[in-house]
């Protein structure tokens, strides 16, 4: 009974806004519209048109997967794997079962505050690794300073993305009651302090908040009265991710 009460309380705290996406597929469709005004990948800052990345725009060099590097994918900053492994449904049937039958996981998976446009190869390399600091990792993607250590299972975002990543992690942990390790929490709280909220984050928080019905409190400044209809640019984009 106590578990049912806790689940009911959590569901009450989840977004109930009419326009909020109900699943990951719907979230990706909306994401194309949200970012059409500023089409740039999260970690590397590459420009893109449609779902095709302009690798030359950010000096990106392919590490291994040329085809995947050329497309945009929608990345969960807090990986769906991390969210799911804290849900009973994942133990019983993995992501597919969670997406179908767990409303909390489905809401978290579709939360636009946690989705960013990413170069497909970077999204694949990052996998479900935690974001953290790395020492001595060589350049892997040309001028893009993203780093992935496959042995340590850790990815280190470039400095411009660290504060934004941290605030996404802290928001998701609070909003969906996700557990963070002590080390991860220390890292994200430090990044939150060291890298102030950027103009891009405020812009994104407003755009996403208008769809989700709430902003990320770690960014602040969300103004519901400024919300208007979404642009329809990008409706026909491929929903990769």
Per-residue pLDDT of 17-69, as tens digits, reads: 447 899 999 999 999 999 999 999 999 999 999 999 999 999 999 999 999 99
**82, 128 contact by CB (below 8 A):** yes
pLDDT of 231 over the 60 cut: no
DSSP single-letter state for residue 14? S
Q: Long-range pairs for 91-94 at CB < 8 Å and ≥24 separation?
A: none
pTM of the full structure: 0.86
pLDDT number for residue 169: 98
Residue 78 pLDDT level (bands cut at 50, 70, 90): very high
**Domain extents in the chain:** 2-226
pLDDT number for residue 237: 41
Burial per residue of 141-157, b for 16 or more beta-carbon CB atoms within 10 angstroms, e otherwise: beebbbbbbeeeebbbb
pLDDT digits (tens, 9 = 90+) for 146-203: 999 999 999 999 999 999 999 999 999 999 999 999 999 999 999 999 999 999 999 9
Helices 159-175 & 182-194 angle (0-180, nearest 10): 130
pLDDT number for residue 101: 87
147 CB-near residues (< 8 Å, 6+ apart): 134, 137, 140, 155, 156
Q: What is the dihedral of CA 201, 204, 205, 209, to 10 degrees?
A: -170
CA distance 224 to 231: 17
**194, 187 contact by CB (below 8 A):** no
pLDDT of 234 over the 80 cut: no
Mapping DSSP to helix (H, G, I), strand (E, B) and coil, where does residue 173 land? helix
Strands, E, within the chain: which ranges?
Answer: 48-49, 52-53, 72-76, 115-119, 130-131, 147-149, 154-156
Q: How far is CA 144 from CA 109, 119, 172, in A?
A: 27, 11, 26
Q: What percent of the chain has pLDDT over 70?
A: 87
Summary mean pLDDT of the chain? 88
Please name the helix (run of DSSP H) or strand (run of DSSP E) that holds residue 187, with its range, or none.
helix 182-194
Q: What percent of the chain has pLDDT over 90?
A: 74
**21, 110 contact by CB (below 8 A):** yes
Mean pLDDT of 103-127: 96
């Amino acid at each position: 009974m106590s578990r049912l009460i806790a689940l009911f309380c959590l569901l009450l705290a989840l977004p109930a806004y009419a326009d909020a996406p109900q699943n990951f597929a719907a979230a990706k469709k909306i994401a194309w519209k949200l970012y059409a005004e500023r089409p740039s990948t999260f970690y590397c800052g590459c420009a893109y048109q449609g779902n095709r990345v302009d690798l030359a725009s950010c000096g990106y060099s392919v590490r291994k997967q040329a085809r995947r590097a050329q497309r945009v994918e929608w990345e969960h900053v807090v990986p769906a794997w991390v969210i799911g492994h804290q849900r009973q449904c994942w133990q019983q049937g993995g992501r597919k079962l969670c997406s179908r039958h767990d409303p909390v996981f489905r809401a978290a998976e579709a939360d636009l505050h946690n989705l960013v446009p990413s170069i497909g190869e970077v999204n694949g390399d990052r996998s479900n690794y935690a974001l953290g600091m790395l020492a001595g990792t060589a350049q892997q993607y040309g001028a893009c300073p993203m780093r992935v250590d496959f042995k340590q299972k850790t990815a280190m975002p470039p400095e411009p993305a660290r504060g934004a990543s941290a605030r996404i992690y802290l928001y998701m942990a609070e909003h969906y009651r996700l557990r963070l390790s002590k080390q991860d929490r220390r890292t994200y709280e430090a990044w939150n302090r060291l890298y102030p909220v950027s103009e891009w984050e405020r812009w994104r928080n407003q755009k996403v908040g208008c769809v989700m019905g709430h902003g990320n409190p770690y960014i602040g400044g969300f103004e519901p009265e400024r919300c208007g209809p979404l642009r329809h640019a990008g409706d026909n984009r491929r929903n990769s991710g």
